[in-house]
Amino acid sequence: MTTVAVEPRPQPFEPRSIKRADYLNISYGVRSWLLTLDHKRIAILYLISISIFFFVGGVFAAVVRLELATPKGDLLQSDTYNKMFTLHGVVMLFFFLIPAIPATLGNFLVPLMIGAKDLAFPRLNLMSWYVFMIAGMFGIYTMLAGGVDTGWTFYTPLSPKYANSQVMTAALAALIAGFSSILTGLNFMVTIHKMRAPGLTWFRLPLFVWSQYATSLIQILGTPVLAVTILLVAAERMLHIGIFDPALGGDPVLFQHLFWFYSHPAVYIMILPAMGVISELVTTFAKKVIFGYSFIAFSSVAIAVLGFLVWGHHMFVSSQSPYAGLIFSFLSMLVAIPSAIKVFNWTATLWRGSVSWDTPMLYAFGFIGLFTIGGLTGLFLACLATDVHLTHTYFVVAHFHYIMVGGAIMAYLGGLHYWWPKITGRMYPEFWAKFAAIIIFVGFNLTFFPQFVLGYQGMPRRYHEYPAEFQVLNVMSTAGASILAVGYIIPAVYFIWSMKYAKVAGRNPWGATGLEWSTTSPPPADNFEKTPIVSLPPYIYSKEEATVVP
Amino acid sequence: MNADFRLLPQQASTMAPRVDALFWFITAICIFFTILVAVLLLTFAIRYRRKTEDYFPKPVVGSKVLEAAWSIGPLALVMVIFFWGASIYFDMMRPPEDALEVYVTGKQWMWHLQHSGGQREINQLHIPLGKPVKLIMTSEDVLHDFYIPAFRVKMDTVPGKYTTLWFQATKLGTFDFYCALYCGTEHARMIGTVTVMKPREYEQWLTERADRSLALQGRQLFQKLQCVTCHHPEANNRAPILENLYGRMVELEGGRNVLADESYLRESILYPAAKVRAGWRPIMPSYVGQVDENDLVRLIAFLKGLKTGQTPARVEDFPAPAVNEKEAAKDKELPKPNEQPKATDKAKDK
Amino acid sequence: MAHKPISPVTYGFIYVLLLLLTALTVYLATQGHLGVWEIPVALGIATAKTVLVGLYFMHLIHSNRLTILIVLAGVLFLVIMVMLTLTDYWTRSWLTSPQVSGAPSITQPLRAGHGSSGDGRS
Amino acid sequence: MSPSATHTHDEHALVAHHFENLEQQRGANLLGMWLFLSSEVLFFGGIFTAYAMMRFSSTNNGFALGSSQLNAVVGGINTAVLLTSSLTMALAVWAAQTKHRRLLQLFLSLTLAFGLAFLVFKGFEWYHEYEVSLVPGPTFGSKLAEKGDGTVIPAETVKTMQMFFVFYFSITGLHALHMVVGLAVLAVQLVLCLQSDFGVRDYGPIEVFGLYWHFVDVVWIYVFPLLYLMRA
């Protein structure tokens, strides 16, 4: 125990004059970035790419919401509208949400948090970014060549047989992005198993690492099924032979089974890392050890495993056997328990803490509230009878946006603010950050809460025009979306500004525990001056003896 | 903005209040937990807000009792929801035996509906108040989904097979139905209305529109397509007689049994060799391409009502498109298409 | 090297076993009359071969718990996929059938249509 | 991942800078390959699941008929060829571990040869199926009645048979693709072994590749009975 990895006190800002070699200034030039093997630089590459995709996907969303401001389909033709929501789904899911936290924050932080110099396979890491970009090229080609209008779900027999748009390239984009996701997951899993610093046992790992581990499990075991399913659809479309087309003796419901076997767990690829981020934020800004560490850690793994058992709840009205529906409904209900465990443990962590209201914590509050609503409304969709009424309606749209936008993106932004000083060495403007956080929270709720009501009223999703009685709520939703858009643009502006002009951050501006805060900001190319040795569990802020409430 | 705005959807079927009761139960749970979490969160965040950077709160590691409480509590609640939801769902999936039957075909981008009496409608459905109605649905191209929000029922229509949906309306009036599963360009225009009428008015509506009954049309097809040549008592046992077939268990080659329902009849017309009845040779040709979904509906309607001694004569020319009185007279000879064998009949054959 | 290399003699022995199993499964499929047991036996032999390859050629017999756990995880999730999809296909006809309790008799044979094979098998 | 190009036997030169030692590096590489293979299990598993469900729910004997169009003996011989290549691969890993450079070169060459032989066999099989009109498409089954006793297979059974052959070509095609990738890597490793002391200096890369090769073999071990032998 030569080094104690934990710094209990916040450090004052370091003087600017000391010029250190960090991963950002160790070399310059495009080449040094495009051929880098440093996980931190690759994280930045991902950050830039997914931010672009986020705004592209956001533009599609804006167009969709604008069209829905009036009941008549007056802004867009129906097929243009269909392409807009399809591209919004494809871009946001495969090119933003799935890589969002793992490939940026995860890529940057996993080695730092476990005291390693890099991920286990740096070349593979760079390759996965290139694979991702190739997928992105296919995605962009799809958009330029006229778009795709099958919905991101690619349901058969619509996508292989009836759609006249760029289904092939869109499907290939999803397929290739999937490979990138597998490679990232594989890299993380090996890294977490094999590269932990001396003394860093499994139960000393930060909860973010646990959640990344669980996510990797899904990426490795779920994504290949999507890959093979897409290949079968592609074969069916190109060769007019196939196994999903009833006219050829096939079964379109089989496609739904294979598709959701991946695509339901994929939701957990998005939300599990978000939960990991929140666990970090809550402890830091309450200055208190997390409540129920092992329960949170195991609930991540439980969610990852349970996530594979519940896909059939997307198919209660698909002509799937009602008995299979019974089993899937039952299993879906069980996901409520690990989710409840997490929410209550985060809340309990605040109890008798020293709670600061810094921007990342605002996002954490927002996350807990919105995830609670998103998770609880999942009960309506896991429950057989209510799902019959609500599935395929705006209720579903609202539900998964509460999870993916209210959950995953809130946590992503919270994490980005929290680790921004570590990534860039600079702080961000606190006032604007708080302002944006509040705007996003308000805009989000105004956008998506009315959609719950719309869904219960029976408005089907993917309609470019709709009966007039639904207009009031749709106008509210569109108004909310414009507020939300402003909320997303503000951080983009001040983050770019901050890289040059903001206050320099020290090693540990938050006074947080965790190995990533023990190195300099930005970290050196090899992450640590010398390999840290860990002797304590995570989140030890106080030297006092920890107590256990019975 | 407009007068039609209402916050809650109408309840217009027997299923609607049951689904809504469950809906509000889950909503209550949601509201309770959301408020609980929000209040706790804000209370802690305000009460224990950071006053000085030097204060390090006393660590609290966890509590097994609390963990158990917030695992078992939600578990118990979700189990209640699960059983409640499942019991309603299985009632949704089991149409009553005496339900009126309407055939529904979805295609890009319209709904084609046919009553048992042969009355056809496009994107409209007329039904009587207070009587269970069963929709027997299929699709000609992609997946669609038949959804009546006011009745709280919904079911995908799948090409190549029949799915069913049933409801019993409890309110007069018109209600929208939608295609709820994205089906291509004009998905949003694949909508229509259900009109719920008083039973007497419904009967009147039916007679006004009485074309020839589905079963009668089917009977004509049965002759026109030469089915009758083999499925006839005088055909030297070339093919089984189809009288009283519907709703019975049929023994197949290889000892399996299959229920002779709509799907079985459909499959046997399109792919005769798929399920061959025990003791018969699979000599029947496939009728794929010769009959469309509408013809199938007619043939099945005919076969469903075919009782002992009603197989038409082999030599009889199929009647020319007839004037109404003559048709109506024929109709009387034929069984009512709605008539179904009693459950006891089904059991007999096992 | 975490363990001593497996000797070439062992490899040879395993190889001969694998060839024998292959010959056996071909023989059973072409000459044997196993009826309903044909598929379970063929898959059983395949699994036996897989275990041999895994344990010896892939050195699982000397590997740590983690590796075995990973292999089992892959297999477990495959089993989940097959079994839960099967619950749908297995029970599809139950609700429309009047004999719900005895339903397996309708859906049971893996090779449906087996009975009607009198038609033109070339 | 792979060691640097220096020819020293100094362990330090073999270990990438972010690893502490060779042991850690080897463990990481092996674990990475195992995880990749478990991912592959689900990749092939997806299509096997589809195959099982379609076969299970099929209402005629088209699958069995399709299966009996394949030659089980030829398939069996090809299985033996692939098993032999697995044996030589296992021996190559042994040679690398025990630092027998000549034997390593020999066994890698043999593996390559048997792998190629398998693909050639497979190619002939595909060509034969093309000739007797078993490739799914508009002309599928047009030559079925010509052989055999002249009985006509019902149209819907032919349709199911075509479904079987869709699976057959997809599965064997994906398997062959994995073989091609494997052979390419194998060829590179063989060249490196012929040119330098690659492999005997650090057996890690050979061992990791061996896992992949055996896995491709294992996939075939299941493909063979599933496609060739279920004919009843």
Is the predicted pLDDT of residue A288 greater than 60, yes or no? yes
Residue of C nearest to B342 (CA): C98
Asked if residue B150 and residue B1 are part of one domain, the reply reads yes
* A245 vs B345 pLDDT, higher one: A245
Is the predicted pLDDT of residue A4 greater than 70, yes or no? no
C34-89, pLDDT tens digit by residue? Answer: 778 888 999 999 999 999 999 999 999 988 899 999 999 999 999 999 999 999 99
**What CATH number does residue B85 fall under?**
2.60.40.420
Is the predicted pLDDT of residue A417 greater than 80, yes or no? yes
**Chain A residues 253-272 with CB within 8 Å of chain C:** 253-254, 257, 261
Is the predicted pLDDT of residue B317 greater than 70, yes or no? no
pLDDT band for position A549 (50/70/90)? low
In chain C, residues with a C-beta closer than 8 Å to the C-beta of B259 are 93, 96-98, 106
Q: Which residues of A335-345 are buried (b: 16+ CB within 10 A; e: fewer)?
A: bbbbbbbbbbb
Instruction: Locate all alpha helices (DSSP H) within chain D, ordered by sequence.
Output: 11-14, 22-57, 62-69, 72-97, 101-131, 155-195, 204-223
- Mean pLDDT of the A139-147 span: 94
Contact B274 C105 (CB under 8 A): no
Asked if residue C38 and residue C74 are part of one domain, the reply reads no
Asked if residue B241 and residue B115 are part of one domain, the reply reads no
pLDDT for the residue numbered B340 = 41
Which helix or strand (DSSP H or E) is residue B100 part of? strand B100-107
> What ipTM was estimated for this complex?
0.89
**What CATH number does residue A79 fall under?**
1.20.210.10
Amino acid (1-letter code) at residue A171 = A
Are the C-beta atoms of A192 and A114 separated by less than 8 Å? yes
pLDDT for the residue numbered B316 = 54
What's the domain count of chain D? 1
Contact C91 A323 (CB under 8 A): yes
In chain A, residues with a C-beta closer than 8 Å to the C-beta of C71 are none
B192-226, pLDDT tens digit by residue? Answer: 999 999 999 999 888 877 766 777 888 888 888 88
Are the C-beta atoms of B253 and B278 separated by less than 8 Å? yes
Question: Minimum mean pLDDT among A94-98, B126-130, D145-149: which range?
Answer: D145-149
Q: Is A327 on the interface with C (CB under 8 A)?
A: yes
Q: Is A225 on the interface with C (CB under 8 A)?
A: yes
**Does A157 sit behind a cis peptide bond, omega within 30 degrees of 0 on the bond before it?**
yes
**Among partner residues D36, D137, D156, which is closest to A241 by beta-carbon distance?**
D137
Q: Which residue segment(s) compose the domain that C69 sits in?
A: 64-91
Residue whose token pair is 């949704």: B92
Q: Which residue segment(s) compose the domain that A346 sits in?
A: 33-517
Q: Is A463 on the interface with B (CB under 8 A)?
A: yes
Q: Is A127 on the interface with D (CB under 8 A)?
A: no
d(CA B125, CA A469): 21
Asked if residue B86 and residue B219 are part of one domain, the reply reads no
Q: Is C22 on the interface with A (CB under 8 A)?
A: no
* A186 vs B225 pLDDT, higher one: A186
Asked if residue B299 and residue B207 are part of one domain, the reply reads no
- Mean pLDDT of the B303-317 span: 74
| Cα of D73 vs its chain's centroid, Å | 18
Q: Tell me the nearest-neighbour CA distance from B223 into chain C, angstroms.
A: 27
Amino acid (1-letter code) at residue D203 = Y
Is the predicted pLDDT of residue D48 greater than 70, yes or no? yes
Q: Tell me the nearest-neighbour CA distance from A306 into chain B, angstroms.
A: 15
Please give the C-alpha separations between residue A341 and each of A274, A307, A465, in angstroms, as whole numbers: 15, 16, 41
**C117 falls within a domain:** no
What's the domain count of chain C? 2
Asked if residue C53 and residue C70 are part of one domain, the reply reads no
- Burial class of residue A76 in the structure, from the number of CB atoms within 10 Å of its CB (0-12 exposed, 13-18 middle, 19+ buried): middle
**Chain B residues 79-138 with CB within 8 Å of chain D:** none
Please give the C-alpha separations between residue D48 and each of A41, A55, C65, D168, in angstroms, as whole numbers: 40, 39, 27, 11
Contact C109 B256 (CB under 8 A): yes
Amino acid (1-letter code) at residue A549 = V
Residue of C nearest to B93 (CA): C95
**A21 falls within a domain:** no
d(CA A238, CA A508): 56
Q: No. of H helices and E strands in chain C?
A: 4, 0
* B261 vs A214 pLDDT, higher one: A214
Is the predicted pLDDT of residue C110 greater than 60, yes or no? no
**D13 falls within a domain:** no
Is the predicted pLDDT of residue D4 greater than 50, yes or no? no
Residue A240 has a CB neighbour count (10 Å cut-off) of: 15
Task: Mark out chain C residues that contact chain B at CB-CB < 8 A.
Answer: 93, 95-99, 105-106, 108-109, 112-116, 118-119
Q: Is B273 on the interface with D (CB under 8 A)?
A: yes
A26-53, pLDDT tens digit by residue? Answer: 888 899 999 999 999 999 999 999 999 9
A381-411, pLDDT tens digit by residue? Answer: 999 999 999 999 999 999 999 999 999 999 9
**D21 falls within a domain:** no
Contact B254 C96 (CB under 8 A): no
Q: Is D218 on the interface with C (CB under 8 A)?
A: yes
- Mean pLDDT of the D124-150 span: 82
Q: Tell me the nearest-neighbour CA distance from D66 into chain B, angstroms.
A: 16
A231-278, pLDDT tens digit by residue? Answer: 999 999 988 887 898 888 889 999 999 999 999 999 999 999 999 999
pLDDT for the residue numbered A327 = 95
A486-527, pLDDT tens digit by residue? Answer: 999 999 999 999 999 999 998 999 999 999 999 998 999 999
Are the C-beta atoms of A408 and A444 separated by less than 8 Å? no
Q: Which residues of A281-292 are buried (b: 16+ CB within 10 A; e: fewer)?
A: bbbbbbbbbbbb
d(CA A369, CA A343): 9
**D-contacting chains (≥3 CB pairs under 8 Å):** A, B, C
pLDDT for the residue numbered B280 = 80
Residue of D nearest to C39 (CA): D230
Angle in degrees, CA B208, B312, B310, rounded to 5 = 80
d(CA B299, CA B310): 14
Contact D225 C42 (CB under 8 A): yes
pLDDT for the residue numbered A21 = 81
- Burial class of residue B8 in the structure, from the number of CB atoms within 10 Å of its CB (0-12 exposed, 13-18 middle, 19+ buried): exposed
Please give the C-alpha separations between residue A303 and each of A217, A277, A345, C66, in angstroms, as whole numbers: 11, 16, 16, 21
What's the domain count of chain A? 1
Of the CA atoms within 13 Å of residue C89, those in its CB half-sphere come to 27
- Number of cross-chain residue pairs from B and C with Cβ atoms under 8 Å apart: 49
Residue A13 has a CB neighbour count (10 Å cut-off) of: 13
The residues near A174 (Cβ < 8 Å, ≥ 6 apart) are: A90, A94, A135, A154, A226, A230
Are the C-beta atoms of D30 and C85 separated by less than 8 Å? no
Contact B256 C98 (CB under 8 A): no
What's the domain count of chain B? 2
Are the C-beta atoms of A100 and A269 separated by less than 8 Å? no
Asked if residue B153 and residue B41 are part of one domain, the reply reads yes
Helix, strand, coil: what percent of chain C each, to 5?
Answer: 65, 0, 35
**D132 falls within a domain:** yes
Which helix or strand (DSSP H or E) is residue A209 part of? helix A207-239
Q: Which residue segment(s) compose the domain that D188 sits in?
A: 30-229
3-state secondary structure of C7: coil
**C82 falls within a domain:** yes
Name which of B306, D180, A352 is nearest D172 in CA terms.
D180
Strand-strand pairing, B153-157 and B124-128: unpaired
Are the C-beta atoms of B273 and D60 separated by less than 8 Å? yes
D195-219, pLDDT tens digit by residue? Answer: 998 988 999 999 999 999 999 999 9
Strand order across the beta sheet in which B153-157 lies: B124-128, B192-197, B173-179, B144-148, B153-157
**What CATH number does residue D38 fall under?**
1.20.120.80
**C101 falls within a domain:** no
To probe the interface with A, which of C67, C75, C77, C78 has the most A CB atoms within 10 Å? C77
Is the predicted pLDDT of residue A102 greater than 70, yes or no? yes
Please give the C-alpha separations between residue A256 and each of A93, A176, A178, D149, in angstroms, as whole numbers: 18, 20, 18, 41
pLDDT band for position D79 (50/70/90)? very high
**C39 falls within a domain:** yes
- For chain D, give the percent of residues with pLDDT over 70: 91
**C97 falls within a domain:** no
**Among partner residues A187, A231, A241, which is closest to D136 by beta-carbon distance?**
A241
Task: Mark out chain D residues that contact chain B at CB-CB < 8 A.
Answer: 59-60, 154-157
B74-103, pLDDT tens digit by residue? Answer: 999 999 999 999 999 999 999 998 899 999
Q: Which residue segment(s) compose the domain that B254 sits in?
A: 214-348
Q: Which of C58, C83, C101 is the last residue of a domain?
A: C58
d(CA D150, CA D162): 19
Contact B84 A385 (CB under 8 A): yes
Question: Minimum mean pLDDT among A335-344, B107-116, D77-86: which range?
Answer: B107-116
Residue A432 has a CB neighbour count (10 Å cut-off) of: 16
To the nearest whole number, what is the mean pLDDT of chain A?
92
